[in-house]
Structure 1
Amino acid sequence: MTTLTLLEDACGRVCHDLSTPLAGMMAALDYLGADAAGEAAAVLREGAAALQARLRLWRTVAGGGGEPMDGPMLAALLDGAWSGGRVLAEASGLAAVVPVAMARAVLLGAMIAAEALPRGGEVRIAGDARQAAILPDGRGAAWPASLTASLSGQDVGGSRHVLPTLLVALTGATGIRPALALGAGSAPGPLILSAT
């Protein structure tokens, strides 16, 4: 996959993630003309907050900057972007403040884990400044095939599958090694991120 294709896929993904709250805001604007300003204003506020939280998460993950983060900071950033409460982040197992590169990798891993929870659940994050484990925990949890394909070096295209590709690119550039551990029975194992 070329850098250009990766950037195009990432852009498509961001547009997809932002389209749902934006559609809600646009529908609320239509209602404003129909004399339902109170209800429409609430939908607008909720949509704007979701859009702001998703932008904050994407800026942290893909913006190149950032700051060292602890478990509560990571969880707050993720939970804010995962509006609706279908998926929650549980990062109390993260025992240290993690450096910027590890924080970005953990956030990407957690975003992939959220997609591994089709019926909702919890993304559990544990570890320390040198190693983190991310586990999707919920009914029907299963890592996407695009994650295992990306980790094995295969090109995975398309905006719906860009997160694993971004994770591999980010970890490769920052000296972090991603790997999937085996789970018990049919449960998925954790995604392990290790600083080298």
Structure 2
Amino acid sequence: MVLPVDGRPDRDRRRVATHEAGHAVAATLLGDGRLVSTSITPTHASNGGTALVHRDEALLTRDEIEVGIVMLLAGRAAEMVVLKESTAAAGGVGDLATTSDLAQATSRLTAVHASYGLGQGLRYRGDALRSASVREDREIGQLVEADLRRLMVRAERFLAGKVDAIRAVADALLERGFLDAAEVERIVAAAGAGGGSPN
């Protein structure tokens, strides 16, 4: 594969590689869906990306949904653990905001509390993705914020013991720009990162 020339400063490329490596390492070790690939090649839609094939959300338990959210937050968590600060990338900027890591995590948790019957109550409050009244509900907002903060801590704690694997995947991404799942698995295994739970 021939990749376009990446004109971003090395510092920015390192940050994107660390972010995507966090997702890739978490996906490899947590098994939330099947990792397909990870890339730091910029496109019109993003600065990079990690592709996964997810299980049907309707068949997931709350614990499984939360593991998936930890994986979504793992990019930001890797930035915090490895680089000691994060960027706005996890929240998305401009057109990317609605598909960002934080947007997806927020939508999934909103559905847990408003639609799926997996929150504190069973009342169906509406479609979490389509209903502005659900997205703006103060009570649901507080529950979602508390869950996001708790799961962010879990993501950071999980990745704190995987720094060598994150750095190794990030280095490979900086060198090649793209890694398939098998390459990520080899790098993670060589770095000695075991699986484990994000709890």
Q: Which has the higher strand share?
A: 1
More helix by share: 2
Report the TM-score when normalising by structure 2: 0.28
TM-score (norm 1): 0.29
